Each structure stands twice: as structure tokens, then as C-alpha cells.
Amino acid sequence: MREGTGMLIAFASSDGLTIDSHFASAPSFEMYKFTKEPQGIIHTSLSSEDMAESDDKVDVRIKMLKECAIVYCTQIGGPAAARLVQSGIHPLKVLEGTLIIDELNRLNKLLLSKKLPPWLKKKVEDVGDIEPQKEDLK
């Protein structure tokens, strides 16, 4: 992740609203960026059209998500998780059907609390220009 660009978060989702996909077979990833700018969170979507057919689905996804700090999914294999971590991306597993907005708000509250787990503290220090939103995201 490039310093000074905000913290990019990806969610494995087929519907754009919930986290409902295995990392290696996710049809799309919803991406949000925490920044200091007034807009706070920037939303963009990457779909299967962005993911060229490849024998190594994990590699394609890692390259596509290379600017992300965190990727949320319902499942991920151990080797894929290790490859994400080696690429500087922290994988998080959540229950299928978890709302993306709920996880964004949970992360925002954690950032506001300043009581960050070591891995997240490192991510925040690496980007250096994020500012949590004062209110819940809609």
C-alpha cells in the first residue's frame, strides 16, 4: 500500500451489500477507502470481468487487491491467507451474510477508539492519513 493514500478495504461480495463469498471464488470485491478527505470513504467495485481467467485464482485476486490493507471474506484457505499476509494484506473471516456497512462501522469505531490490535496499528501507521468518521456510515 502506498503511503499517504488512505486505507483501502475489500469485501468479497456477490451482491455489493453483504460479505458472502469465499476469497478464491468471490465473483466481485467491494472496495472502500478510509481517508482524511471530506468524503471519508470512497466506494468502488471490482468484478469478475476485472479478473482475467487464470489457473491461479488466488494470484489474480492478490494482484487485483494489492493496494488493500484488509480483505473480508467468508472463507479462505490457509495457503491463500499466508499469501495475502506476505503481500501485506490482512484477511478477515466473517459469517456469510454479514453486512458490509456493519463491518465498516465496526472498523470505524475501532479506529476511533485508538485501541487497535497490533496488526491494525501497523496498517494505520503505514498509511498515516486516515481519519475515522465521527458518525456511523450509512
Residue 102 within any structural domain of the chain: no
CA atoms of 63 and 84, how far apart (whole Å) = 10
Structural domain boundaries enclosing 132:
1-6+21-94+111-138
Quote the pTM value.
0.85
CA atoms of 29 and 66, how far apart (whole Å) = 13
pLDDT digit of tens for each residue in the chain (138 aa)? 444 568 889 999 999 899 999 999 888 889 888 876 655 566 667 666 666 666 678 888 898 899 999 999 999 999 999 999 999 999 999 999 999 999 999 998 888 888 889 998 888 888 876 777 776 766
- DSSP 8-state assignment for residue 75: B
Q: What H or E segment, with its residue span, contains residue 73?
A: strand 68-73
Count of the separate structural domains present in the chain: 1
* Cβ neighbours of 6 (radius 10 Å): 23
Handedness of CA 131, 134, 136, 138 (dihedral sign): negative
Q: What is the CATH number of the domain that holds 78?
A: 3.30.420.130
